[in-house]
Amino acid sequence: MTRMGTARTVPHHIAIVMDGNGRWATKRFLPRVAGHKKGLDALRACVRHCGDLGVKVLTVFAFSSENWNRPADEVSGLMELLAAALSREVPQLQAEGVRIHFVGDRSALSDKVRTGLAQAEALTAGNHRLVFNVCFNYGGRWDMTQAAAQLAARGEAITELSLSRAMALAHVPDPDLIIRTGGELRMSNFLLWQAAYSELYFSDKLWPEFDAAAIDKAIADYGRRERRFGRTSDQVAPTAPRTTRKAA
Ligand code: FPP
């Protein structure tokens, strides 16, 4: 994005690492998959709240390229959750004007799931209220590699613009705000290219507990940030009183 200066109160694009489902379940002596089910409830509420607030793009990390290394029952539980979500949630998303995109490597998914993803995308393709990107079997390194491979196959020069256009999130502007729940302070291979100028927000709350009030708090924090995109504070907000400016 090229917007500069104080962050707009409501970010255009929010991206979320929904961490902490496993710990939420373990604390309650439940299987980890129960935490992911509760995480899906939190995600449903989050999509609705973001739409109501006027957020235009929401991108979530639902399954990483590295999550295949988890115990087999957890991997199959997440695949079943995705399949169930496709049939149960998509009609509601359609009713709410949400356009869904699945972002990631689909080659490892079953034919049935792949067909479901394509049908959900086709059904919601005419919606404009909120673009909802679900990153599934996604990794930032995978994305950069597949984009470079596309350009190489077409014999195109690699530039920032050509690479950006070949990336899996080329249909949306870069995220303004990236939220990670669950108390960890890392990116975990999420949106490595697109995060260049995103504001980062970390919460100790576990994802199933990250409710509308927690989203509002993250957005309020974002509203206090000064976005400089490499410029100085004076260039970005030349009339602002010095005491309100943040250190570089
Ligand atoms: C990370 O928490 C979360 C995931 C790997 C899965 C996220 C999935 C959902 C929120 C449900 C929505 C799912 C679909 C299929 C649309 P973690 O398990 O690493 O938590 P931990 O750090 O406490 O172990």
Which of 16, 17, 21, 189 to probe ligand 1 with, by most ligand atoms within 8 A of CB? 21
Question: Which of 153, 240, 160 has its CA nearest to residue 194?
Answer: 160
Query: Going by CA atoms, what residue is nearest to atom 6 of ligand 1?
Result: 62
Q: How far apart are CA 109 and CA 113, in angstroms?
A: 6
The whole-number average pLDDT for the span 164-191 is 98
The CATH code for residues 13-138+175-223 is 3.40.1180.10
Question: Does residue 19 line the site of ligand 1, with CB under 6 A?
Answer: yes
Backbone dihedral region for residue 233 (phi beyond 0: left; psi -120 to 50: alpha; all else: beta):
alpha
The whole-number average pLDDT for the span 194-201 is 98
- Maximum distance among all Cα pairs of the chain, rounded to whole angstroms: 59
Query: Going by CA atoms, what residue is nearest to atom 8 of ligand 1?
Result: 62
Tokens 């869904």 map to which residue?
100
Q: How confident is the model at residue 247 (pLDDT cuts 50, 70, 90)?
A: very low
In this predicted model, what pLDDT tens digit does every residue of 92-136 receive, in sequence order? Answer: 999 999 999 999 999 999 999 999 999 999 999 999 999 999 999
Q: How far apart are CA 143 and CA 103, in angstroms?
A: 9
Query: Going by CA atoms, what residue is nearest to atom 2 of ligand 1?
Result: 19
Sign of CA dihedral 163, 166, 172, 174: negative
Can you give the pLDDT at residue 229? 87
The whole-number average pLDDT for the span 161-183 is 98
Domain range summary for the chain, segments of one domain joined by +: 13-138+175-223
Q: How far apart are CA 201 and CA 21, in angstroms?
A: 18
Atom index in ligand 1 nearest the CA of residue 208 equals 10
| Given the residues 52, 67, 176, 189, the one annotated as active site | 67
Rounded to a whole number of angstroms, the CA Rg of the chain reads: 19
The model's pTM:
0.92
Tokens 């400016």 map to which residue?
245
Burial group, residue 143, by CB count within 10 angstroms (0-12, 13-18, 19+): buried
The whole-number average pLDDT for the span 226-233 is 84
The whole-number average pLDDT for the span 202-206 is 98
Residue with the larger pLDDT of the pair 240 and 246? 240
Can you give the pLDDT at residue 235? 84
Query: Going by CA atoms, what residue is nearest to atom 7 of ligand 1?
Result: 62
In this predicted model, what pLDDT tens digit does every residue of 49-81 receive, in sequence order? Answer: 999 999 999 999 999 999 999 999 999 999 999
Can you give the pLDDT at residue 238? 62
Question: Does residue 147 line the site of ligand 1, with CB under 6 A?
Answer: no
CA dihedral 79, 82, 84, 88 (to 10 degrees): 180
Question: Does residue 14 line the site of ligand 1, with CB under 6 A?
Answer: no
Can you give the pLDDT at residue 233? 84
Which of 16, 17, 19 to probe ligand 1 with, by most ligand atoms within 8 A of CB? 19
How many whole angstroms from 103 Cα to the centroid of ligand 1?
16
Q: Which residues pair with 200 in a beta bridge?
A: 178
> Is-catalytic flag, 133?
no
**SS (HEC) of the chain:** CCCCEECCCCCCEEEEECCCHHHHHHHCCCCHHHHHHHHHHHHHHHHHHHHHHCCCEEEEEEEEHHHHHCCHHHHHHHHHHHHHHHHHHHHHHHHCCEEEEEECCCCCCCHHHHHHHHHHHHHCCCCCCEEEEEEEEECHHHHHHHHHHHHHHHCCCCCHHHHHHHCCCCCCCCCCEEEECCCCCCCCCCCCCCCCCCEEEECCCCHHHCCHHHHHHHHHHHHCCEECCCCCHHHHCCCCCHHHCCCC
Tokens 């089910």 map to which residue?
37
> Is-catalytic flag, 69?
no
Question: Does residue 51 line the site of ligand 1, with CB under 6 A?
Answer: no
